[in-house]
A and B are shown apart, each in its own frame.
Chain A
Amino acid sequence: MDRRKFIKRLGLAGAGVLASPYILPANRLFAQTGTRKVNHVVFCLFAGGVRNFESMQKAEGNLMPNMLSGTESISADIAGAMEILPSPAGLPLQNYGTLFKEFRYASGPTGHFNGHTTAMTGVYTTTDLNIKERPATPTIFEFYRKHNTTSQSALNSWWISDALGAYPALNYSKDLNYGPKYGANFLQPLSLLNYNGATSEGYVTLAHPREFNVGEKQSAVKMREHFDGFFGGQYNSLDAGIVNTDADADHINLFIKNILTQANAGAYTNPWNLTASMSSDLYNMYFAEQVIQEFKPELLVVNMQGIDICHSNFTQYCNNIRKADYALATLWNTIQSTPGMANDTVLIVAPEHGRNLNSNSIVDAYGRYALDHTSDATSREIFCMMLGPAGVIKQNQVISTITGESVDIIPTIADLLGFYDDIPMQYKAQMGRVLTEAYV
């Protein structure tokens, strides 16, 4: 062997020896540097604009009996409008974690898309935010899928929301370093079911696909590869949004088919057997729980929005806070009864922003004035609840001083899942901090 060849081989072997411990099964070169505190995080946007007066300060009584301790009765003038919900079972959720009673959405317009974008990117927005576009900075899903080592499959990250506005766009950003390659699966449950009266149009149009056998699938792949081979130049794989592997897509297809079949059988007319009506928030939560049970995702974000009725109906706003509180309790119970997620999940709950101190001029049937959210100081006052295993999250802790901001949630999720240190400084510098006050 000549000298040049010897040196070349020696160099390659040396590089291989040095790199091999870091080349992971998931084809990543470097392992995440942090240690996971838990293996699952569920983030619930208790959204629509909740004012701390009605939530933490219980100005109308305890509208959140599943989450908060206390038996304050609901204001007599609106109590009759409250739908009947099951009584809380067990201790209020605040016993299982830390409650930040004076959390802040400190900057940016108190608009829903601004608030949601901030909550899911960890970066405050400005009035320049284009509500028809994806966020400029990466979402938590993208950070998770790019910097997490063990399970980068899109099946592990879900964004579940209704169809209002640009929310579907929050499953990935337009940042060129991240984008759809690292995005989350997105699901709008009621759009999938697409009820037309009692009929699920989703069932009618999507539940009867031609099922190809293994041999047919292989032949189809062969032909598709032939077509795609002649169309390589112009194709941008990211044009299709996020991409699941074939195996994951099969799993999702089966999940969808089961959902639609059950919808057609009437299983979702009142899946929780409630006296109260099923709102889109309750459906969102119900299907988030279906996703949890089916896929056990490491990162799931679920949105509720019905509270925003407060623009025109304060009393119904209070009713919807109660429904969201109930939905959250079922979410927690589902997490704790799902093997693999029980005692290994942190649940974070926060509104995207609050509501104004002063009302608008709309009066509801109970004589209550409605409230908007136009960036006054009160609309920046929110709460945050972090629930989780006793060895990770401080139990039954209430922090009543002004502590924590919306932009702190994403760094905290990244820290809990062990990849905070891997987020490049250019992004981390725009975010808030890790909410270590909640840690044991």
Chain B
Amino acid sequence: MNTRFIRAGRYASIALLSLVLIFTACRKKEYTYEVNGEEVVKDGVTKTNLKTDVEFISIAYSDLFGTTITNDKLVKLNIEYDAFGDKKLIEDLIVRNFLNDPAVQLPTKSYMDANLDAFISDTYKKFFNRLPNEMEAWNLKKIISADNTITPELVYYSFMTSNEYRYY
């Protein structure tokens, strides 16, 4: 047999053995103590889609007025939205104008104070389309409870100008 083929066969065997050793060596044994393996992720982690201009305006309107924005109003607001380079600035301005509209639908402060757990859950569902995890709910409750000047309007404003609200 040609010695060149023998040498090549040896090299191939060594390479194969090396690959086997690399992929099998030092593998850490995983123990499971009667608990199912769970992947730990943050809530909202799947929101990778940025709302478009039109989506942001129409969703914000629906969230605050409980009804669909008219096409005429949407077109007008979209023109004004496009007038600025700083989108956070114009979104903040639009939300604050919505909040100042007499037709805006807001819970009362007394309702919020008396039903804080439910208010927090409902508000997360309303604006983030998800429930808060325990840590989120506890922390927001702590912030609201510690400051008697916080109103539902201010909570709504904070939700709607947060980073998560810009995504779906």
**Which residues does A use to contact B, with CB under 8 Å?**
154, 159, 163, 168, 171, 183-189, 191-192, 194, 196, 201-202, 205-212, 215-216, 219-220, 222-224, 226-228, 230-235, 239-244, 249, 252-253, 256
Contact = CB atoms under 8 A, between A and B. Distances in A.
22 contacts: A159-B85, A171-B85, A186-B85, A191-B80, A192-B80, A205-B80, A209-B93, A210-B99, A220-B158, A220-B161, A222-B143, A223-B150, A223-B155, A224-B158, A224-B161, A228-B164, A230-B42, A231-B42, A231-B167, A240-B166, A243-B88, A253-B93
Interface string B77-106: 101101111111101111011011100000
B147 A188 contact: no
A241 B163 CA distance: 13
B89 A220 contact: no
Contacts of A171: 85
A185 B85 contact: yes
Contacts of B59: none
A243 B101 CA distance: 27
Contacts of A205: 73, 76-77, 80, 94, 97
B165 to A, nearest CB: 8
Contact of A219 (B94, B149, B164): B149
Contacts of B155: 223
A241 B88 CA distance: 8
A288 to B, nearest CB: 14
A242 B89 CA distance: 10
Given A191-B80, A194-B76, A227-B163, A210 B96 contact: yes
Nearest to B99: A210
B85 A242 contact: yes
A249 B89 contact: yes
A212 B85 contact: no
A228 B163 contact: yes
B44 interface: yes
A253 B86 CA distance: 11
Interface in B46-73: 47-48, 50, 73
B12 interface: no
Main secondary structure of the interface of B (DSSP, over half): helix
B132 to A, nearest CB: 8
A-B complex: 7 closest residue pairs judged by Cβ atoms: A186-B85, A209-B96, A223-B158, A191-B83, A227-B162, A231-B164, A192-B83
Contacts of B91: 240
Interface residues of B, number: 50
B163 A201 contact: no
A249 B87 CA distance: 11
A224 B154 CA distance: 10
Contacts of A188: 82-84
Interface of B: 42-45, 47-48, 50, 73, 76-77, 79-80, 82-89, 91-94, 96-97, 99-101, 133, 135-136, 139-140, 143, 147, 149-150, 153-155, 157-159, 161-164, 166-167
Nearest to B150: A219
B76 A201 contact: yes
Contacts of B47: 231, 234
A383 to B, nearest CB: 29
A188 B78 CA distance: 13
Contact of B157 (A191, A194, A210): A210
A201 B80 CA distance: 9
Contact of A223 (B97, B133, B140): B140
Contacts of A194: 76, 79-80, 83
Contact of A239 (B50, B86, B99): B50
Residue from A189, A212, A216, A249 whose CB has the most chain B CB atoms within 10 Å: A216
Given A194-B80, A231-B42, 20 more contacts: A168-B85, A184-B85, A185-B86, A206-B94, A207-B97, A209-B93, A210-B157, A211-B96, A215-B149, A216-B154, A219-B143, A224-B158, A224-B161, A226-B136, A230-B133, A231-B44, A233-B42, A234-B47, A239-B166, A242-B85
Contacts of B42: 230-233
Contact of A216 (B82, B84, B87, B149): B149
Contacts of A215: 149
Given A194-B79, A223-B140, A223-B143, A210 B85 contact: no
A52 B20 CA distance: 74
A244 B84 CA distance: 12
A183 B153 contact: no
A206 B158 contact: no
A168 B79 CA distance: 12
B85 A220 contact: no
Contacts of A231: 42, 44, 47, 162-164, 167
Contacts of B84: 185-188, 192
Contacts of B99: 209-210
Contacts of B136: 226, 230
Contacts of A253: 89, 93
Contact of B100 (A208, A226, A228, A240): A208
A294 to B, nearest CB: 15
Residue from A185, A186, A231 whose CB has the most chain B CB atoms within 10 Å: A231
Contacts of B101: 208
Contacts of A163: 79, 82
Contacts of A154: 86
A226 B164 CA distance: 11
